[in-house]
Amino acid sequence: MPAWTALPDLPKIPLSPERLKMSVTCTGTEFAKFYSDPKYWISGSTDDSTWHDDAVVYVNGVQDDDIDLANVKPEDILKIEGGVVFGPVVGGAEPSLETYFKRWRKEQSTAVLMAEVPKDLVDAVKAAIIAAGGKVIG
């Protein structure tokens, strides 16, 4: 019989609901690109398509249970929490919507940035982005 070694008491870290919630934040532009990517969102019959359920989506800080991409503006800020993605593209994994989004984001060759700058520096920041080969969206 193996010898047992007692583990020391470990500190207890309180886990509030806020700490347990995972979320991802993006612009309306980035969300629209994600949501229209045919590699991630397959359309077709129910058995062949990709869909999600039970996600909580905030648009500009307001929870929107029935998000309509036609009304999401490129400059909107979206926060995605939870949800489950279903379909053959995910198999039995059924990741959360934010995990699925993060997976998509990681595969992209470009990044969408959100920035806050003093008004008197907006033109300089835009010029720096363009000089670095970037594109100013809003």
| Overall average pLDDT of the 1-8 stretch | 54
pLDDT of residue 6: 53
Q: pLDDT band for 5, please (50, 70, 90 cuts).
A: low
pLDDT tens-digit series, residues 71-103: 788 889 999 998 899 988 888 888 999 999 999
| pTM of the predicted structure, to 2 decimals | 0.73
User: pLDDT category, 10, cuts 50, 70, 90?
Assistant: low
Q: Six-digit token pair at 18?
A: 């806020």
**Average pLDDT over the chain, rounded to an integer:** 83
Q: Cβ atoms within 10 A of the Cβ of 95, count?
A: 16
Structure tokens at 72: 């999401």
Q: For residue 121, give every residue at least 6 positions away whose Cβ sits within 8 Å of its Cβ, in sequence order, or none.
A: none
